Every structure is written in C-alpha cells, then in structure tokens.
Structure 1
Amino acid sequence: MPKSAPDLTVPTRDRLLDAFAELLVEGGERSATLDAVAAAAAVSKGGLLYHFASKDALIDGMLARLDALANEDAENIRTAPAGPIDYLIRTSVHTGSPLDRAYIAGSRLAQGRDLRAMQVLSDIRRRWLQVIEDAVHDPDTAQAIMLISDGLYVNSSLAENDLRAEDGAAMDRLIGVIDRLLPRP
C-alpha cells in the first residue's frame, strides 16, 4: 500500500501508474493486483480498466514511463555541464526520484522474469553505457564506470550507504579515482 494518500489533482492515469509502481516496489508483483492498484490510486476498478484494459497494459504503461524517464536521463548525462561521468556518478545514488521508483518497479517485474521488463532495463543500461562510451572513447573503461555506477545505486537502494549525493567531497574523491581510469590521449 502506498505510504500516503494519492494526490487527486494528479491525472488518473498517472495516479494509477504511481500506485502500480509503489506496490511493485513495496511488495513485488504479487501485491500489485488490479484491485490493489485501483484502491491505492483511489480509483474504481472500472476507472482503472478504462485507462488500462489489463494488467499487461498496466505493465506496458509503467515500462513506457520508465523508458521515457531513462531517455530523459540519458540526455541529461550527455549534456551535463560538468560532463557525463560527473553527472552519472553523482546521480547514481537512490533518491526516491520518479526515475528511481520506476526503475525499481521495472526491476521487480524483471525479477519475476517479465521479458518486457528485462528488455527495457537492458535497453536502458545499453543507452547509458553508450553515452559514457561516447565520452571516454574506450568501451572497457566505460564498462568499468557503469559498474561503479551500478554498485553505487544498488548499495544506496538496499543498504545504509556512507556515500550520499549531498556528500560533495566524497563524490569528488570518487570522481577523481574514476578520472585516473580514463585513457589519456
């Protein structure tokens, strides 16, 4: 069950996707029934079915949202004023952002072997990796940077993490270490 009452000023379709993601994050796919999603979004089941005719349609909607958020993030990485690596690393900690929630919800579906979720998550990671490869011009170094990013994210998502986004000095030190990995011209 979502932690707070839904904001009824948010469009119904978005409330349904928010509720579905929250249920997936908090309790996994089994807890995210159509009845539970409708109740969590403060929508009748008929209202849910008006927007999403089936659970598959709801999954497709949530994955489309995840993909759109990740596309936006890839562009933010690519165009970051301080550079792609700096942006990627500083944003590789869980903050509860809409992208974080959608990503974890998609991961929960992938854990249940949903092939669509597995494909979307794979495509997202490939997209982020390509942005980093374009920045460093070395696929092996780009892969190492992505693995550092992945580790930061998992650690901050699942455990109490000593490294937080707001700890600028610690992030600066980590980015300095990564900078030493970069190939020199």
Structure 2
Amino acid sequence: MPPAAASTPASSPAPGAAQGSARDRVLDAYEELLAEQSERAATLDAVAARAGVSKGGLLYHFASKEALASGVLDRFADLIEDDIRRMREAEDGPVDYFLRTSIPTDSRFERAIVAIARLAQAADPRARDALASAQRRWLEVLQEAVGDPLVARTIMLIGDGMYYNTALLPAANNVLRDETDIDDLVALIRRFAEGGRPSGR
C-alpha cells in the first residue's frame, strides 16, 4: 500500500465526479492519471485531454508538471485536515474510524493518496514528506486515543495490512471476507486497545 494507511472518508466523491472549475478538472485529471498509471504517463498533453481543456488552457493554470504536483499536494493537505477532524469526531472513536477507513473505497481521498504515492515513487521529496506527515498525524490521534505508543503503532500496522489485503490482493483475499469479519476485527482491536500495553512489554 502507499506509505501511509488509506484512511478514506466514505462520503468523499468518486473519481471523475467533480464538476468544478477548469483548474479543478485539470487537477482531477492529473490525480486520475497518476493513480491509474504512473507519473511518467501523466504528461501535460494527457492531462489536458483527460480534463477536456486545451494545452494552453492547462498552462494558464499550471505552467509545468511541478506546478501540477504542487496543486495536488495542496489539495492532499486539505484532505488530510478533513480526515483528521473526522477521525477525532468519529462517534465510535478514532480507532474504529481508522480501521474501518483502512478498507479502500472509490473516493477522492483514496485517489489522492495513490496519486501522492506515485509522485513519491518518482522521487518527489514533497510527496514523501506529505505521506510521512499524514502518517505521523494519524499515529498521533491513535496514540491520544489509546494512550500507548506501541498499541497505536500496532493499530496502524493492522490498518496497513487491511489495505494491502483488500486493495492489492482482492482476488486472493481470504482474510477480510465480508463486513462481519471487519466488525469482529474492529471489536478485537478495540478490546486490545482498551487493555493497554500487552503483558511482557
């Protein structure tokens, strides 16, 4: 999975659903191409074609691919702020929210995380920093909720595993088979978190 767990608000619009300004359509197109293919495939010509604008129209808003990357990074920062707020305010608590949103969905946030990961893979240090920052912030909220750094890191690793099994191995996944499995896992982790640090540590 990407270097940070995909904590994805279920209410976010699906890729391609945005009908905003030309600038937003260009950013949507760039994110989609990054997520679906690669940083190399997301050329200015390809982005303009996907967004339904001329190349001149694209360059009016973004003079280069670096400017495009800056745009998606700025939007990612806003999405992280919103996700952290949702996580803190979740009715069933941050642990429940984090684990349940570690199941990938066809959402704007999911697409943004994959797009930023593609930029990080292409050696963009800003993207690596953005993912690392998101991971730190999720971990901080989990640690506040459970009161133990080791338990918080364990929950994050479980979220990573949930993402891996459901996103990267969907056909072979025999771990999380249905909603009941997820409910049982969340209940188990909540009991573990409420118990604090395991004995022997």
| TM-score in terms of structure 2 length | 0.83
Work out the CA distance in 1 between the residues paired with 2:118 and 2:18: 26
Question: Does structure 1 retain, via aligned residues, the 8 Å contact 2:19–2:25?
Answer: no
Question: Does structure 2 retain, via aligned residues, the 8 Å contact 1:138–1:183?
Answer: no
Work out the CA distance in 2 between the residues paired with 1:60 and 1:47: 18
Work out the CA distance in 2 between the residues paired with 1:180 and 1:100: 28
Task: Name the aligned partner's letter for residue 28 of structure 2.
Answer: D
Task: Name the aligned partner's letter for residue 23 of structure 2.
Answer: R
Indicate the residue corresponding to 2:46 in structure 1: 36
* Runs of 5+ unmatched residues, structure 2: 1-15, 197-201
Work out the CA distance in 2 between the residues paired with 1:14 and 1:25: 16
Task: Name the aligned partner's letter for residue 25 of structure 2.
Answer: R
Indicate the residue corresponding to 1:27 in structure 2: 37
Indicate the residue corresponding to 1:57 in structure 2: 67
Task: Please list, as runs of the form range in 1=range in 2, the aligned pairs for 1:93-132 lying within 5 A after superposition.
Answer: 93-132=103-142
Task: Compare relative contact order (CA 8 Å, sep 6+) and give the higher one, 1 or 2.
Answer: 2
Which of 149, 166, 171 is residue 182 of structure 2 equivalent to? 171
Distance of aligned partners of 1:73 and 1:45 in 2 relative to their CA distance in 1, 3 Å threshold: same
Count of residues paired in the alignment = 178
1:18-62: per-residue Cα shift (whole Å, max 9, x none)?
110111111101100111101110111111111111111100100
Distance of aligned partners of 1:9 and 1:95 in 2 relative to their CA distance in 1, 3 Å threshold: closer
Indicate the residue corresponding to 1:180 in structure 2: 191
Work out the CA distance in 1 between the residues paired with 2:164 and 2:80: 17
Identity rate, percent: 51
More helix by share: 1
How far residue 180 of structure 1 moved from its aligned partner, in angstroms, is: 3.3
Work out the CA distance in 2 between the residues paired with 1:68 and 1:154: 25
* Runs of 5+ unmatched residues, structure 1: 1-5
